[in-house]
Amino acid sequence: GQQLNQSPQSMFIQEGEDVSMNCTSSSIFNTWLWYKQDPGEGPVLLIALYKAGELTSNGRLTAQFGITRKDSFLNISASIPSDVGIYFCAGQRGQGGSEKLVFGKGTKLTVNP
């Protein structure tokens, strides 16, 4: 099935550094979601974006819904060891409701203390 283009695939950073990852698509999505998955667990929602151009923060996390509705980025500021995990973007063509999600391939983040 279709997947979003997520990059980078992996990142190795030092504690305290900022992180940026993004997702792009050739088609429009009307909802963008960012999830974090720890090993052996299900994904946990970090930020949900519902409007083109929207910039939303959740603590040290900031995500933006691209104006073209074909991309989104996630920034993590001042990273800490517990930020380690796999981050997934997900898009939905509708807004809310029970429409299925399309996922990116994930960005594996490693934070060195």
Partner 1 sequence: GAVVSQHPSRVICKSGTSVKIECRSLDFQATTMFWYRQFPKQSLMLMATSNEGSKATYEQGVEKDKFLINHASLTLSTLTVTSAHPEDSSFYICSAPTREYGYTFGSGTRLTVV
Residues that bind partner 1 (CB under 8 A): 1, 3, 33, 35, 40-45, 48, 88, 90, 96-98, 100-101, 103-106, 108
Cβ closer to partner 1: 16 or 96?
Answer: 96
Least distance in angstroms from the C-beta of 78 to partner 1:
26
Report, in Å, the least distance between residue 82 CB and partner 1: 18
Comparing CB distances to partner 1, the nearer of 46 and 111 is 46
Whole-number Å distance between alpha carbons of 4 and 7: 10
| Cβ-based nearer residue to partner 1, 29 or 88 | 88
Query: What tokens appear for 84 in the block?
Result: 């380690």
Min dist. Cβ of residue 100 to partner 1 (A): 6
Cα–Cα dist 109/24, whole Å: 19
CA distance 17 to 10: 15
- Whose Cβ is closer to partner 1: residue 77's or residue 105's? 105
- The string of DSSP codes covering 55-88 is EEEETTEEEEE-TTSSEEEEEE-S--GGG-EEEE
Please report how close the Cβ of residue 67 comes to partner 1 at its closest, in angstroms: 22
How would you classify residue 96: left for phi > 0, otherwise alpha for psi between -120 and 50, otherwise beta?
Answer: left
